[in-house]
Amino acid sequence: MTQRNTIWYNIDWQTVLIYLILIFLGWINIYAAVFNDNHKEIFDITQRYGKQIIWITAALSLATVLLLLDSKFYVSFAYIIYGLSIASLIGVLILGTEIKGAKSWFQIGSFAFQPAEFAKVATALAIAKYASSYSFKMKEIKNILILGSIILFPVGLIFLQNDTGSALVFSVFLLVLYREGLSEIILLFVFFVSAVFILTLVLNIIQVIFIFTIVSFIIAYIICPKQIYTYLKAATMYLIIFCILWLGNYLLKLNFSSPIVLLFSTVISSLIFAVHSFIYKLYKILILIGIYLALCTFSVSSDYVFNNILEPHQQDRINELLGIKYDPLGVGYNVNQSKIAIGSGGFFGKGFLNGTQTKFDFVPEQSTDFIFCTVGEEWGFAGTTIVLMLFTWLLLRLIYLAERQRSIFSRIYGYSVACILFFHLSINIGMTIGLAPVIGIPLPFFSYGGSSLWSFTILLFIFIRLDASRMERLSY
């Protein structure tokens, strides 16, 4: 048996089959989402469903090429691919076209593609390359910082493009690194910071700092219960400093806001208490004070970022999600119509091409970000369950394939594929049913568009090719 025949024999055709089923269902639902009575022909290239078949044909050709390439190619050129991806992200900031408020597209005639979609693939390859090197140890700070830089560099460039949704996808690489030995403390820290950020949005900053202060005193008492009088003195000092600063701000007409005065009071009193704790060797309390100051500072900065850096429509979407603001005819219109469409489908749906919410364009972006609405309305609960089962089957299959790899590079890359697809799936569907903010990321293999389909195809078929050579020794 020749080498080429061996590769084709070793390909995981089960994964390929799931991929083919998903892109076919996606194409059919795009046809239903933008169906036009004047253009009923499904291959009509003047319509989105006609264009999508072109993207699908190109994606299948691309998948074939990826399978024909030697698996060592992806290892050898991982950093070069990453470098080219970074160059494209920089280039789009200079030469890109702004679409829907994000300058993240290269426009070539009627065709547009988004470098951020392909940056996920490049970053996954770079992480796999670095973390699979012989000298790599996850517990070394140097390695963690380098991996963090590999992830954060494209994230920063994508944020500059005003494409928050694509940037957030890169957070899933933390899960990949956790599988490779990243400390769970870092994951818990990220989760805790996210929770504090949400708390800052739900409550005002004064309430948040007050909660942190009370909780910190309670924890301090639990850690060192014999210092109760010291804590009372610290609390009294805190109140006195706040009153002095607030009164000074009022009399001198400095116009500092109440949160800033409170933060100054917190910092000054905490530093005085920290000196006391250091003198009396209360090191646990000293650490607690450091954490307390970091949380208070982060809360104030989060409040500033939310109110001064995020775009108004991003603020509105987050407020709508958290229940701070309810605007079904404004910012919440998309999600509200989406839920109506999905709910109206019932158990078996209204039938193919019979979706009224879809047919009369009540749901915006119904062939891209909200394509899942078409599935829910026309195929009902049964149809959405089948689609979710297919995606679950694919994710479980990818995890199984990743775990059977002999190469560390292939395993890391395989987990990257699974995590990226999971993030897109959960957030996209979460958007349509009101459980996640509308951040504009596509549903893999379903949403209309060449960039997303090709990037997901490249992402998946590189791993299928690596898996086909799992018995080979990949050199680094």
Distance set, CA 198 to CA 39, 178, 246, 260, 431 (Å): 47, 24, 27, 20, 17
| Cβ proximity of 131 and 412 under 8 Å | yes
Cα separation, 476 vs 76, in Å, equals 7
How far is it, in rounded angstroms, from Cα 120 to Cα 122? 6
Is residue 474 included in any domain, yes or no? no
Determine the Cα–Cα distance for residues 369 and 448; give it in Å rounded to an integer. Answer: 9
Q: How many domains does the chain have?
A: 2
> How distant, in Å, are the alpha carbons of 277, 339, 354, 445 from that of 31?
68, 20, 12, 14
Indicate the burial class of 401 (C-beta count within 10 angstroms; 0-12, 13-18, 19 or more). buried
Kindly state whether residue 183 falls inside one of the protein's structural domains.
yes
Cα separation of the two ends of the chain: 27
Q: 181 and 105, same structural domain?
A: yes
The pLDDT of residue 366: 73
Four-residue CA torsion sign, 313, 318, 323, 324: negative
pLDDT of residue 1: 45
Looking at the fold, whether 41 and 140 belong to one and the same domain comes out as: yes
Query: Strand order in 102-108's β-sheet?
Result: 97-99, 102-108, 111-113
Mean pLDDT is lowest, of 45-59, 224-238, 299-313, 316-330, for: 316-330
**Rounded CA gap, 106 and 37, in Å?**
32
Across the chain, what does the average pLDDT equal?
84
Residue 332 confidence (pLDDT): 61
User: Domain for residue 306, yes or no?
Assistant: yes
* Residue where a domain stops, chosen among 310, 343, 359: 310
Domain extent, residue 263, equals 203-310
Overall average pLDDT of the 4-16 stretch: 80
φ, ψ dihedrals at 19, nearest 5°: -60, -50
pTM for the structure as a whole: 0.81
Same domain, 61 and 190: yes
Q: Which helix (H) or strand (E) holds 97?
A: strand 97-99
Q: Is residue 476 part of a domain?
A: no
CA distance 356 to 341: 8
What is the torsion angle, in degrees rounded to the nearest 10, for the CA atoms of residue 33, residue 36, residue 40 and residue 45?
-80
- Cβ neighbours for 339, distance < 8 A, ≥ 6 positions apart: 432, 433, 434
Q: Which of 6-10, 155-159, 310-314 has the highest mean pLDDT?
A: 155-159
Does residue 473 fall inside a structural domain? no
Q: What is the mean pLDDT of residues 134-160?
A: 88
> What is residue 361's predicted lDDT score, i.e. its pLDDT?
64
Percent of the chain with pLDDT over 90: 30
On whether residue 106 sits in a domain, the answer given is yes
Q: Given pLDDT bands bounded at 50, 70 and 90, which one contains residue 128?
A: very high
Cα 10 from Cα 308, distance rounded (Å): 54
- Residue-wise pLDDT for 194-250, tens only, equals 777 777 777 777 788 888 888 888 888 888 888 888 888 888 888 888 888 888 877
Residue 122 within a domain: yes
Same-domain check for residues 16 and 130 = yes
Q: Among 310, 343, 377, give the residue marking a domain's end.
A: 310
The verdict on 215 and 236 lying in the same domain is yes
C-alpha span between 375 and 381 (Å, rounded):
9
Q: Is the pLDDT of residue 317 over 50?
A: yes
Same domain membership, residue 353 and residue 236: no
Same domain, 194 and 223: no
Same domain, 70 and 163: yes
Of 289, 310, 331, the residue that ends a domain is 310
If asked whether residues 359 and 407 sit together in one domain, one would say yes
Q: What is the pLDDT of residue 97?
A: 81
Same domain, 426 and 339: yes
How confident is the model over 270-293, as a mean pLDDT?
Answer: 84
Same domain, 21 and 117: yes
pLDDT in tens, 104-114: 878 876 677 78
Distance CA 366, CA 334 (A): 10
Please tell me the least confidently modeled range out of 182-191, 318-327, 351-360.
318-327
Q: Is residue 339 part of a domain?
A: yes
Residues 188 and 249 in one domain: no
Per-residue pLDDT reduced to its tens digit, 112-127: 778 889 999 999 999 9
Average pLDDT of 122-149?
Answer: 90
pLDDT of 331 higher than 60: no
> Residue for token digits 């479980």?
396
The arithmetic mean of pLDDT across residues 51-65, rounded, is 93
Closest CA to 303 of 285, 289, 286, 318: 318
Lowest mean pLDDT among 425-439, 440-454, 455-469: 425-439
